[in-house]
């Protein structure tokens, strides 16, 4: 809401500055977002009095004027035909800046010195008028003085506060509503504009024969029409145009501008119909017929539904109530009779219709928030008088009214004790009563509870937001000043029932993130949505995707079912910045459709941990060798993570379940159950993300791993008392035989006292079709030192077992 | 003196002289003196025949042990003497170290962790809820009327039917109250939220932290105290808070909370110019809060006479203020040069 300080002062004698007003309103809950100075670019302009107009010696169309600007008399060369002695004019003295940034300089025009410029309206940006200079006499309010600031002489709205009005305060979408708040806060009297009939012909008629029918009080509790005829359409007077301009409304004509003016002033949207185009002497307010069409003012054909409220004449709809008028009855230059509507419509219907049609007008917004029914007749009267005056027309003697439902005013209970409990401060009885009265409430003490008064308060008609005790407490708090309430750290009582519950999902996720950053990975946070095409590109299956109905763009059209698209996007962003090595992780939810989801949303959310490795294995350069991350780096991370969860060593198996965007991929099995996948992003896909090196990606289901690890906990194992004995065994195996198979065979050989076995070295002679794998066997006896000969025997048993069971050499 | 005592004395002398060696040459001389063919150990061993026959096996074993001991000690000392002297080679302490991989948490995670931790210290419990929500939890139960402009305050991304992406963390208030069934409860909810909005200062996904305290006599003074504690803990002891009346459908009294500008200290200017952080206002809007609306209690089956407060803040805004990040979009580009700064 744009509030002009000058306009406000027509309602309350506020003496402070615009900045102070902004601060006051802000602390009342009406935040000033910006202080605008719409006529700032006229600051250098002065009122001048033309003392003398003489001919220019060298040019017929120019004149030489002597102009009194208060402190001096300037000689100015002027080309306007209408300049004349005794006129008050707008002067830009040399050095002044005009709107648009032009600076006026001393100049010689055809040999005569000119010390400034006398301006036209267009040169001042006030209108398109450029037929001659602006003569101030007719335009200015009050007495003119040479040297006076032009903005002051024209009474321009130089300071306009942009106030952010919250949806609960529709009353403050008007100068009047904000003036009420200022009157309250500054204890000032409030004056409504006078309904001035002086000089207006109020003897018209015309609506007597009109048949008005409102279908129900539900759709329009109050509906009123006035007729003004014999009108002349012309521009509104300058003061009104300038004011509307300052308040963000484009002036159109006297008839239209008045409705906008009164809406801004009193908060009541009004609509003008061209009465000559209302057919059949009939006006109905009723729901539209399903599928019916209406050409609206903006030239669009709208298809209506039975949930839209229409204004109709004998033949059909002539307007969408509260949202936009129809083109058929629109006011234009030829209009001479205006049927002016002042009404209240069902707020929810207006909201629905304006949202559905994408027509968020100032009027619709006010109706949707709720207008003050009690103010409607006054606003209509004020607008009708203004239209009659400015259009030199004739106002009908009386309005045509349908008042089906009076405005509701609930009687609300307010317990002082409750207010004190909620606010945490003691309150004076008188403060409570006086505050509510000042806010327009009718207040009465209706009893006492435990020695503390209970009041009945009836809110004023302009406060539809007040519906209960809590709202009354808020009003008290707002006026008391929220900043005067003390600051106390609460004593939070906690229930023993919450003690010893399993670790929360959030706590687990936090631990996982800490582990991952400790493992040398950088956390990324990617959007939860991606594009259907991105998923198709990776080969993500189509079923189970959760689409967004109204996405901002196709690239954000679907919730991610896997972490891969986001991590790859992060890769792309970094490669564009020349990154040569990345070690990323993300721990976040992925989404899939699931009608049985426990949240009741039809969407299943699973938390996943994703790793992405690319390029440089190590941070920094020397002394490490430059090497690129490879499968074993990624696998090592997965192994370390699984081990950190106190789970047994996972298996890594080639699997058809591996995601389609990976090759050289493996599935992770923990206790035989699927627990994620890892591998290389297919080079042809990686290429699309501008990767020049291999991209390694893993995704692990966190919820699953957490369930698997539940109860495994840390357990201390006693340290061994006797030393281990180690034996190595080198197996020459054909390519295609996995290390895991060799290990499995060694374990199957049931070797006595074998404590652990691991790969010590790997060598693959080129072109041999074989690999040499050296395993270290560690033996230990819990109660004695093993003898060399004993251990040699066991090792030989292992070698024999391998030779017998696998196609290997030792 | 018995042979056995002489053997032990010999061991003592060996260790003493060993400690005095300072070069491989010294060490060789010592080896010859004690363990050479004509050395002192050999000399004692020669006397073995003179010992009583029943003592000979034990003495022989001990002599062998001592010989082994001398060998071990000589090897150990040799290793020490082989170490190069510091001055012998050029030692360059300025060469780059062998860096371990340095991971990092995202600044949003850092801020969320910090805020959760400081609120947990005064008794709040961290809970979470789904990001895909029902209209009931996100709006209706939070007293957003159907077809009311209040719903348009938050541009919603819909998933079809009654399901949407939560526009705030407040629906978890509803889930938490339904789960606890009755007061007291004190929870905080960190998480992702979504709105249909994208420009220089808005991203369609962002993060919030919600707080909710419900009990028998929670007051606005408690809310003010909690948020003052929060602001001071996060931004420093000198930071002040300011409460401005505002509107949220699910609170009544509602307030926006500002903190005094962390750059200019609330003066609005620095070095004769408007402060670039608060744009001259002296205050920074940081969160929304209020006393829980009785309709919310009604919706979850709580006694409407209980009282509570709720607050919610945008994590991105706090992270940007705290770390001096000027551009919101940096938070979601995952540029490693950005991320690595939070290690």
Instruction: Please tell me which residue of chain A has the smallest CA distance to B249.
Output: A168
Say if residue B98's pLDDT is above 90. Answer: no
Which pLDDT score is estimated for B148?
Answer: 72
- Can you give the pLDDT at residue A140? 64
User: Which band of pLDDT confidence, cut at 50, 70 and 90, is reported for residue A202?
Assistant: confident
**pLDDT-based confidence at residue A414 (cuts at 50, 70, 90):** very high
Question: Residue B315: what pLDDT?
Answer: 96
pLDDT value of residue A139: 67
Which chain A residue has the Cα nearest residue B219? A422
Query: With the CA atoms of A260, A263, A266 and A271 taken in that order, what torsion angle do they form, in degrees rounded to the nearest 10?
Result: 110
Binning pLDDT at 50, 70 and 90, where does residue A141 land?
low
Could you report the per-residue pLDDT of B22-51, keeping only the tens digit for each? 888 888 888 888 888 888 888 888 887 888
- Report the residue of chain B nearest A418, measured CA to CA: B305
Least Cα distance to A523 among A588, A606, A428, A447 occurs for A588
Residues A341, A225 contacting (CB under 8 angstroms): yes
Is the Cβ pair A27, B204 closer than 8 Å?
no
Q: Report whether pLDDT(B337) > 90.
A: yes
Using the beta-carbon criterion (under 8 Å), do B125 and A548 form an inter-chain contact?
Answer: no
In this prediction, residue A61 carries a pLDDT of: 87
Q: Collect all residues with Cβ–Cβ distance below 8 Å to A708 and sequence separation of at least 6.
A: A645, A647, A670, A671, A673, A675
* Average pLDDT score, chain B: 89
What is the spatial distance between Cα A258 and Cα A666, in angstroms, rounded to a whole number? 75
With contact defined as beta carbons under 8 Å apart, do B7 and B59 qualify?
yes
Round the average pLDDT of chain A to a whole number and report it. 92
Chain A interface mutation, best of B285, B339, B341, B343, highest count of A Cβ atoms under 10 Å: B339
Query: What was the pLDDT predicted at A476?
Result: 96
Q: How confident is the model at residue A329 (pLDDT cuts 50, 70, 90)?
A: very high
Model's pTM, two decimal places?
Answer: 0.85
**Alpha-carbon torsion A730, A735, A739, A740, what sign?**
negative
How confident is the model at residue B279, as a pLDDT? 84
Q: Are A269 and A366 in contact (CB under 8 A)?
A: yes
b/e map of A331-350 (b: 16 or more CB within 10 Å)? Answer: beeebebbbbbbbbbbbebb
Under an 8 A CB cutoff, do A583 and B229 touch?
A: no
Closest residue of A to B98, CA-based?
A: A623
pLDDT digits (tens, 9 = 90+) for A500-531: 888 899 999 999 999 999 999 999 999 999 99
Q: pLDDT tier at B236 (50, 70, 90 boundaries)?
A: very high
CA pair distance B73, B63, nearest whole angstrom: 15
Residues in B touching A523 (Cβ below 8 Å): 103-106, 109, 339
Region A364-371: mean pLDDT is 92
Could B243 and A483 be called an inter-chain contact, meaning their C-beta atoms sit closer than 8 Å? yes
Average pLDDT over residues A22-26: 94
Residues of B in contact with A516 (CB under 8 A): 103
List, as one string, the DSSP characters of A682-729.
Answer: PHHHHHHTT-SS-EEEEEEEHHHHHHHHTTT-----PPPSS--EEEEE
**Mean pLDDT value of segment B117-143:** 95
For a pLDDT cut of 90, what percent of chain B falls above it? 56
pLDDT of B86 above 70: no
**Residue range A720-747: average pLDDT?**
89
Read off the pLDDT of each residue in A601-625 and give the average, rounded to a whole number.
90
The pLDDT confidence band at residue B19, using thresholds 50, 70 and 90, is confident
Name residues whose C-beta falls within 8 Å of residue A286's C-beta, 6 or more positions apart in sequence: A213, A214, A215, A219, A309, A310, A312
The answer, yes or no, to whether residue B87 has pLDDT greater than 60, is no
CB contacts < 8 A, A to B, total: 277
Give B105's contacts in chain A (Cβ within 8 Å): 513-514, 517, 523
Whether B244 and A485 lie within 8 Å, measured CB to CB? no
Compare CB distances from A489 to B132, B157, B229 and report the shortest one's residue.
B229
Among candidates A352, A457, A351, A338, which has minimal Cα distance to A386?
A338
Residues A145-165 have a mean pLDDT of 92
DSSP B141: G
Among the ranges given (A108-117, A382-391, A619-628), the one the predictor scored with the smallest mean pLDDT:
A619-628
CATH numbers and ranges of domains, chain A:
2-38+158-186 (3.30.56.10), 40-153 (2.40.50.140), 201-403 (3.50.40.10), 412-484 (3.30.56.10), 505-709 (3.30.930.10), 725-805 (3.30.70.380)
Task: Give the other-Cβ count within 10 Å of A431's Cβ.
Answer: 13
Given an 8 Å threshold on Cβ–Cβ distance, is A573 in contact with B334? yes
- If one compares B276 and B342, the residue with the highest pLDDT of the two is B342
What number of other Cβ atoms are within 10 A of residue B7's Cβ? Answer: 18
What are the pLDDT digits (tens) for B151-199?
A: 766 689 999 888 999 999 999 999 999 998 889 999 999 999 999 999 9
* Structure tokens that stand for A356 in this block: 């559905």
**What was the pLDDT predicted at A686?**
93
At A215-229, the pLDDT tens digits run 999 999 999 999 999
In this complex, the residue of B190, B196, B226 whose CB is nearest that of residue A490 is B226
Output the pLDDT for position A601: 92
- Check residue A713 and give its pLDDT: 74
Q: Give pLDDT tens digits for A754-805.
A: 999 999 999 988 888 889 999 999 999 988 888 888 899 999 998 999 998 8
B80 vs A605 pLDDT, higher one:
A605
A553 pLDDT higher than 80:
yes
pLDDT on residue A547: 95
If you average pLDDT over residues B94-111, what whole number do you get? Answer: 92
A593, pLDDT greater than 70? yes
pLDDT-derived band at A302, boundaries 50, 70, 90: very high
At residue B90 the predicted structure's pLDDT band, cuts being 50, 70 and 90, is confident
Tokens at residue B33, please? 């003196």
Q: How far is A692 from chain B (nearest CA, A)?
A: 17
């Amino acid at each position: 809401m744009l509030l002009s300080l000058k306009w406000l002062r027509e309602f309350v004698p506020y003496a402070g500055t615009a900045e102070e007003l902004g601060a006051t309103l802000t602390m009342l809950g009406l935040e000033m977002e910006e202080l605008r100075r719409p006529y700032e670019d006229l600051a250098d302009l002065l009122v001048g009095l033309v003392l003398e107009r003489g001919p220019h010696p060298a040019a017929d169309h120019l004149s030489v004027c002597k102009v009194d600007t208060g402190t001096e008399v300037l000689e100015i060369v002027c080309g306007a035909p209408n300049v004349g002695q005794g006129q008050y004019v707008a002067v830009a003295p040399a050095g002044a800046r005009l709107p648009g940034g032009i600076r006026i300089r001393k100049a010689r025009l055809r040999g005569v010195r000119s010390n400034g410029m006398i301006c036209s309206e267009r040169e001042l940006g006030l209108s398109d008028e450029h037929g001659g200079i602006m003569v101030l006499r007719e335009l200015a309010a009050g007495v003119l003085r040479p040297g006076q600031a032009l903005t002051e002489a024209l009474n321009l709205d130089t300071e306009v506060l942009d106030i952010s009005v919250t949806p609960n305060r529709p009353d403050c979408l008007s100068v009047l509503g904000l003036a009420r708040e200022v009157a309250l806060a500054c204890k000032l009297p409030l004056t409504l504009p006078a309904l001035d009939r002086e000089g207006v012909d109020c003897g018209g008629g015309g609506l007597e024969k009109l048949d008005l029918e409102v279908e129900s009080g539900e759709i329009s509790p109050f509906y009123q029409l006035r007729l003004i005829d014999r009108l002349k359409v012309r521009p509104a007077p300058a003061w009104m145009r300038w004011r509307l301009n300052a308040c963000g409304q484009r002036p159109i004509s006297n008839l239209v501008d008045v409705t906008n003016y009164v809406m801004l002033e009193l908060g009541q949207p009004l609509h003008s119909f061209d009465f000559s185009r209302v057919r059949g002497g009939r006006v109905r307010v009723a729901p539209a017929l399903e599928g019916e069409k209406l050409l609206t003012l903006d030239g669009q054909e709208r298809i209506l539904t039975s949930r839209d409220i229409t204004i109709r004449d004998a033949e059909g709809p002539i307007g969408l109530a509260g949202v936009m008028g129809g083109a058929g009855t629109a006011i234009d230059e030829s209009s001479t009779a205006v049927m002016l509507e002042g009404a209240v419509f069902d707020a929810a219907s207006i909201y629905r219709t304006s949202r559905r049609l994408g027509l968020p007008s100032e009027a619709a917004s006010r109706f949707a928030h709720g207008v003050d029914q009690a103010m409607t007749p006054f606003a209509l009267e004020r607008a009708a008088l203004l239209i009659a005056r400015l259009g030199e027309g004739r106002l009908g003697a009386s309005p045509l009214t349908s008042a089906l439902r009076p405005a509701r005013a609930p009687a609300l209970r307010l317990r002082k004790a409750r207010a004190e409990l909620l606010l945490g401060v003691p309150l004076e009885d008188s403060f409570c009563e006086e505050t509510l009265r000042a806010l327009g409430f009718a207040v009465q003490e209706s009893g006492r509870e435990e020695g503390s008064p209970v009041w009945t308060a009836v809110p004023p008609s302009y406060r539809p937001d007040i519906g209960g005790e809590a709202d009354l407490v808020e009003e008290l708090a707002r006026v008391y000043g929220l900043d005067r309430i003390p600051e106390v750290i609460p004593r939070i009582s906690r229930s023993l029932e919450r003690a010893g519950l399993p670790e929360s999902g959030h706590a687990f996720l936090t631990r996982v993130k800490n582990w991952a950053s400790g493992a040398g990975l950088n956390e990324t946070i990617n959007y939860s949505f991606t594009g259907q095409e991105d998923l198709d590109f990776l080969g993500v299956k189509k079923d189970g995707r959760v689409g967004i109905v109204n996405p901002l763009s196709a690239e954000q059209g679907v919730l991610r079912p896997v972490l891969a698209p986001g991590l790859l996007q992060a890769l792309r962003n970094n490669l564009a910045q020349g990154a040569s090595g990345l070690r990323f992780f993300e721990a976040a939810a992925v989404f899939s459709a699931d009608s049985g989801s426990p949240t009741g949303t039809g969407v299943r959310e699973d938390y996943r941990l994703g790793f992405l490795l690319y390029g440089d294995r190590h941070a920094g350069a020397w002394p490490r060798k430059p090497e690129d991350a490879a499968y074993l780096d990624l696998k090592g991370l997965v192994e370390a993570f699984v081990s950190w969860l106190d789970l047994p060593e996972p298996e890594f198996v080639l699997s058809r379940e591996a995601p389609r965007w990976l090759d050289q991929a493996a599935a992770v099995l923990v206790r035989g159950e699927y627990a994620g996948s890892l591998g290389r992003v297919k080079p042809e896909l990686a290429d699309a993300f501008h990767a020049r090196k291999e991209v390694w990606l893993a995704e692990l289901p966190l919820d699953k791993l957490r369930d698997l690890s539940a109860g495994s906990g840390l357990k201390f194992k006693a340290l061994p008392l006797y030393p281990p004995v180690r034996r190595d065994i080198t197996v020459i195996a054909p390519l295609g035989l996995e290390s895991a198979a060799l290990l499995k065979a060694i374990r199957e050989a049931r070797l006595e006292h074998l404590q652990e076995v691991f790969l010590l070295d790997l060598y693959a002679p080129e072109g041999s079709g074989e690999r040499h794998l050296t395993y270290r066997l560690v033996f230990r006896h819990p109660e004695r030192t093993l003898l060399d000969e004993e251990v040699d025997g066991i090792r030989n048993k292992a070698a024999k077992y391998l030779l017998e069971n696998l196609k290997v050499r030792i | 003196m018995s042979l056995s005592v002489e053997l032990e004395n010999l061991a003592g002398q060996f260790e003493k002289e060993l400690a005095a060696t300072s070069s491989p040459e010294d060490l060789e001389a010592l080896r010859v003196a004690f363990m050479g063919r004509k050395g002192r150990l050999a000399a004692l061993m020669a006397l073995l025949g003179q010992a009583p026959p029943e003592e000979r096996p034990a003495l022989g074993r001990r002599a062998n042990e001592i010989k082994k001991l001398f060998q071990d000690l000589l090897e150990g000392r040799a290793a020490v003497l082989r170490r190069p002297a510091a001055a012998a080679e050029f030692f360059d302490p300025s060469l780059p170290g062998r860096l371990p991989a340095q991971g990092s948490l995202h600044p949003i995670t850092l801020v969320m962790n910090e805020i959760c931790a400081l609120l947990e210290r005064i008794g709040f419990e961290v809970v979470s809820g789904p990001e895909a929500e029902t209209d009931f939890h996100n709006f209706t139960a939070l007293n957003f009327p159907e077809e009311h402009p209040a719903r348009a305050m938050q541009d919603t991304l819909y998933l079809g039917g009654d399901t949407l992406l939560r526009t705030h963390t407040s629906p978890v208030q509803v889930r938490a109250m339904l789960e606890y069934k009755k007061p007291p409860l004190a929870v905080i909810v960190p998480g992702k939220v979504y709105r249909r909005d994208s420009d220089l200062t808005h991203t369609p996904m962002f993060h919030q932290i919600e707080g909710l305290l419900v009990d028998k006599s929670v007051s606005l003074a408690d809310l003010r105290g909690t948020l003052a504690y929060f602001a001071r803990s996060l931004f420093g002891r000198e930071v002040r808070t300011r409460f401005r009346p505002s509107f949220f459908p699910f609170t009544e009294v509602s307030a926006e909370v500002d903190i005094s500008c962390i750059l200019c200290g609330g003066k609005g200017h620095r070095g004769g110019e408007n402060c670039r952080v608060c744009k001259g206002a002296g205050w920074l809007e940081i969160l929304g809060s209020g006393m829980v609306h009785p309709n919310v209690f009604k919706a979850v089956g709580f006694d409407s006479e209980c009282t509570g407060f709720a607050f919610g803040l945008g994590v991105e805004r706090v992270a940007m203020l705290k770390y001096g990040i000027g551009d919101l979009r940096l938070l979601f580009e995952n540029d490693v040069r950005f991320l690595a700064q939070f290690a």
